[in-house]
Structure 1
Amino acid sequence: MSISSSTLLAELRDRAQALGFGAFGVARADARPDLPEKLGAALERHWHGDMGWMAETAERRGAPEALWPDARSVIMVGMNYGPDTDPMADLGHPTRGNISVYARNRDYHDIIKGKLKELAGLLSRRTGAEVKVFVDTAPVMEKPLGEAAGIGWQGKHTVLVSREFGSWLFLGAIFTAAELPADDPHPESCGNCRRCLDICPTNAFPAPFQLDARRCLSYLNIEHPGPIPHEFRVAMGNRIYGCDDCLAVCPWNKFASLTHEARLMARDDLKSPALADLVQLDDAGFRALFAGSPIKRIGHARFLRNVLIAVGNSGDPALVVHAEARLRDTDPLIRGAAVWAVRRLVTKTRADALELAFLTDEGDISVRAEWSAAVQPVRTN
């Protein structure tokens, strides 16, 4: 290394800050030897749900050196995406969709990766060592590595918490073959607080610091490919993409609100869009609205599934006409969600008439099951 480690790290920190990374820290690649055991325990309990890639990549995911044997140090950076308003307030407007804060702007993978490559390039030029960058697209456990690098700690909701940015950090990792001085790991600082656990609408936390994704609304309305399980639909409310409840109630978020100059701001049209507009989107309209957004990755059918669950929870009879129109959709995932929404919003007499009209010609077994499932209607007369 041609320059001193302290000089190099100072230069890297300054450049990271100029690129918009408010958090910066360094960990040894072998700083978390406990990760394989913890990951294995979660997989054995099937907490990963349908995310089969987690089990398939478990060996590489458990340790940076398993992913890249030449890794000696890991630089972890974080970018603030804290909202300028309380996302929990959006839950009080049931005719509007609630989109997770992280998805209200461009896809964070695209935002961070280019900046991370620039920072990694500087490191490589200064040291001559090989580097690799990762932004949530490879088997890297960014949150425990962020804790090891001292930029925060994994809270009881399993998300990284920062004293400066609360629960609102996008994370990126640079693996390097260079030996860099490591920062001290950040101690867990949640204390007796359990707001994130208590607020969860589906009881997705078996215990503090443990998450069963199969009960998590963010997993269900993003990663889960099929119909939303009936037991979670009412709890889903108007959350049409993700769920921020456990993040939004973290007391450390009050510090994130002080850093507007370094925050990724949301698109105005994605802060609280009307369900009446979203439920009418065709595939082309969906792609146009969410161009450059992570929402686009789940596809039109899965998104409409989510919107229709929200429509069913809205209690607004004015949305019935749009839900009924989706009973004729070509995609069974959309039709099934439409059945549930309609049966929630119309009287029993109307629901029976619609079932008689549609069930005979319905060939999909999952949609037929929706017509016969027990549903608690919002309207009772």
Structure 2
Amino acid sequence: MEDIRMVDQKAPYARLKSELDAAFSAAMASMGETDGQLVKSFGMKLGRYLNIEHVFPCASSADALKIALLAQDLPAEAEVIVPAFGPAAGAEAVKLLGLKPVFADVLPETYMIDPSAVAKAVTPATAAIMPVHLFGQCAPMQELIAVAKQHHLWVVEDTVQSLGAVYVGPEGREVKAGTMGHIGVFSFFPPKAISDPGDAGAVMTNDARLSDKIRDILQINQSAAAEIRSAAVDSRMDVLQAAMLEVKIKYLDEYHAARQEVARFYDNAFAETELVQAPHRVPYSSHIYQQYAITVAPELRDGLQEHLRAHHIPSVIYYPLPLHLQDTFAYLHYKAGDLPVAERLSKCILSLPMHSELKEDQLTYICQHVLEFVKRHR
């Protein structure tokens, strides 16, 4: 059996080597260009894939989050509601821009922001909601958009883990994650299904006015108005990143299908016991499995991870401390017990190896050791 990796970037590269090498040569040949045609070309391909009008590739997803918030002209110290469980980047961007993150609890089955908790968190100072499409599945956007419309709030979709996930809306209409709110943000940082050699991202919208604002923010232009210059973000995706991503996006759905097959294997193996909770799949969304996150009893989680490590099986804890209890947000004065679902998840969730290159013997070995441990310690 081959060594088990949490992610595998080498095998997909080997399969696409001839195309990626040609893309590399094209990128090197374009280095003297100043209008970024390769970057524009990738942006157009991404827009067609997502069926969205305006796409702006940028240097990182962190920049994309800042740009998305700046484009809305939110007043100083306006509140932005974010999930308490998940990546910190969105809340950190809110804080960095002088806005106030407000944490809402999450749903116990999907780990994503709870619309009822969002509704309770709205105050007169609330300006936006930032749902995260976590681990590869869509947040409950119909309910979240309804709350946003009721209170006249912006919706910024953090889609850094769910590029290509499909949301089934009212009347069966299918749309891609990141295209339902006012503005969406993506990441191509490894180990995403398609990634670049660096930390590129993208911000996108169907709103023409927001598109103009984003363009102004990205365009470092000394002749621009002072308020635009003060909000400018020098964030350019380089041509090599764009060239590589333009090749890989053609195969994105194939990678998703392979990850879904891996997830089915895990699902079937863990169906035999209630001691391991496989990721819940909602009827309104596809799941691209950026992570395959199981939950076990809190008293078993750390021991299970150590057991897997002893048998050369990698795993990762996403996320070991909910955001509202992290030191960086201590000034907001949340305390333990305020958001109980997020707090419990942080103690019982564990992500297993997930990528398109996992083999059946590897998966059998992983599942065998997970089940062996939880049954022995129940």
Q: TM-score range by the shorter chain?
A: under 0.3
Q: RCO greater where, 1 or 2, for CA within 8 Å and sep 6 or more?
A: 2
TM superposition score normalised by structure 2: 0.24
- The structure whose Rg is larger is 1
| Higher share of residues assigned helix | 1
Q: TM-score, normalised by structure 1?
A: 0.23
